[in-house]
Structures are given as C-alpha cells and as structure tokens.
Amino acid sequence: MRNFDTDALECLAAIVEEGGFERAAARLSITQSAVSQRLRALEAQVGTVLLVRSRPVKPTSAGRLLIKHAMQMRLLRSDLESDLQELTPGMASNREEERIAIAVNADSIATWVLPALRSVVQDGLPLEIITDDQDFTHEWLREGQVLGCVTTLDNALRGCKVQFLGAMDYVAVASAEYAARVCPQGLNAHNFRQIPFVAFNRKDDLPVEFVSKALGLKRVSLNQRFVPSAQGQMRAVLDGWGASALPHMLVQEGLDSGELVDLCPGAVVTVPLYWHCWNLHSAVIDRLTAALQTGAQQSLVQVKNAA
C-alpha cells in the first residue's frame, strides 16, 4: 500500500476546488511553482496524469480517487480536532484548507438548510457548501469532491449511506402585476406557451414537470429564462420576468402580502429530498446528519412520495 504525501494530496484538491494553480497557491500560502512541483511528484508516484489542464482544471479518474482520499483525510483530522477541542477548549480552530464540503440544492439553501446548520458552523466546523440543481448534487458525491449531499435521488452510492429528509412543495407563481396583465385567469393549457418560466438552469426540469402535471399534458415545451439562484428566481418573478415553480416556503410571504399570485391554486409538485454521505464512523458526519435531520423535520413535509 503506497503512502501519499498529505501536502501533495491537499495541493491536488486545492487546484480542483479553486479552479487553477494560482488560486491554489494563494490558498495554501505557497508559490505557484511549489504547487506544480507537488503535483508532478504526486503524478510521478501514481504513474498517471491526475489533472486535465482545461479551464477550469478537471481531475482525471485517478485524480478523483485521490481527491476523495484527501477529503477523507480532512474528515479524520476534523474528527481528531473536534475531540481534542473537548479536552483543550482553548485550542485553535481548523485551518481554512481543512474545510469540509457538502453539496446542497439551491432551493434548500434558500430555505431550510442554513438555519439547520447554524449550530455546527457556530461550533467552528469549517464548512463549504457547494450548490447545484437538486438532481445533480449527487454527482459531486460520486466524484468524491464532497462528503455528503442533499439530492432528490434515493439510490445510495457504493460506500455511502442515504436517509430520507422530507419533501418540498412547489407552486407556480408570478407577480400580481404580471398576472393581472398577462394571465388574469391563471395558468392554463391555452396560455402556458406564452408565459416565460424562470428556471434555475438548463438542467432544471421542475417547471416542465409542474406544468405537465398541473395541466394534465404529456408533452410540454416552455419558453424559459435562467437564473441560477432560488432568491434570484423569485426576484426575477417579482420584477416581471414571468412565472416560476418555486418552493412554497420561499414564496409564502409574498403570497400572503399579495405581491405574488398562485397561478394554479391547488396544484403542487412535491419533491422528496435525501441526505447521502460517506458510510464512515465520523463525529463530523454524525453532527452534520443530525443537524440536517432536525432542520428537515422542522421545515419539510414528512412524506416520501412525490405528489
């Protein structure tokens, strides 16, 4: 079994996480030449290329395995530091490069996840949250770049465990002014093609799913605009960009105030969410899991089936 230099592994992870050699050097407080030397030494030891020199750089298959190993080493160090802090409360907190990464869908970040994680962050966990569409956060875990993810997928990856968190209800909304001007009768089979829908990105199929279900249509093609943020999508709707399918908990205040209008009263798409994480004995993973479960129980609908 080969032993890999911890600094070289962290260097590889930093290059990928920061998107290049220069930013990795700045993060690690070393020269760019030192970053290159550590990477070359690691590639020589492994016997293969670990990075694709694209913009941004991407890990090869071997590179992904070593990055996952680097993150597992971070987790072990974080567990150790957590245990030591209980014995020596005055001990310095984790270094920035020891941060623990998880992937979370944007709608959860905009609603319930940040309050759920408040206690672990206040306790000093150097957490990094990576955001993606809810159907694709799983890929960050598959590639070993995070230790856990919140996703809509329920199949556990090899070496990982999965737990149901709850579900989010989505409704179709528009600003009151836009609805009165463009679709005073709400969303229907005759006007949905003329109403632009604001989606998270091109991977986001929730607007199509919502319209298909709400209107009982098998094939739906929408005029879409893209804003990669849940709060940004709501801001775009309030500014009259069109409609959007957004979490009910995010738009509830706007509906109550009259700023927003529910375009399909009674129509809801319920999306189940799951927490996937490495199947390791780890105090850090246990704390993250418990915090997310508690937050989900307080905020999410506790049903597994999508409506």
Per the structure block, which two tokens stand in for 210? 């919502």
Residue 194 gets the label, from left (phi > 0), alpha (psi -120 to 50) or beta, of: alpha
> How far apart are the C-alpha atoms of 13 and 62, rounded to whole Å?
12
What's residue 307's pLDDT?
A: 46
| Peptide linkage before 56 cis (omega within 30 of 0) | yes
In 3D space, the residue among 245, 56, 69 whose CA is nearest the CA of residue 145 turns out to be 69
> How far apart are the C-alpha atoms of 40 and 33, rounded to whole Å?
11
What's residue 305's pLDDT?
A: 60
Mind listing the domains of the chain with CATH numbers?
A: 1-71 (1.10.10.10), 168-270 (3.40.190.10)
**245-263 burial by CB neighbour count: b if 16+ within 10 A, else e?**
bbbbbbbeebeeeebbbbb
Contact 54, 44 (CB under 8 A): no
Q: What is the mean pLDDT of each run of 10 residues along the chain (307 residues)?
A: 82 88 89 91 88 84 87 80 61 58 94 96 89 84 88 89 96 97 94 94 92 92 94 96 97 97 96 93 91 96 69
In 3D space, the residue among 44, 68, 45, 55 whose CA is nearest the CA of residue 21 turns out to be 55
Per the structure block, which two tokens stand in for 101? 């990464």
Which residue stretches of the chain are H helix? 6-18, 21-28, 32-46, 61-87, 106-111, 113-116, 118-122, 137-142, 176-182, 206-215, 230-238, 248-257, 283-299
What's residue 225's pLDDT?
A: 96
What's residue 91's pLDDT?
A: 47
Per the structure block, which two tokens stand in for 187? 């969303």
Per the structure block, which two tokens stand in for 134? 């809810």
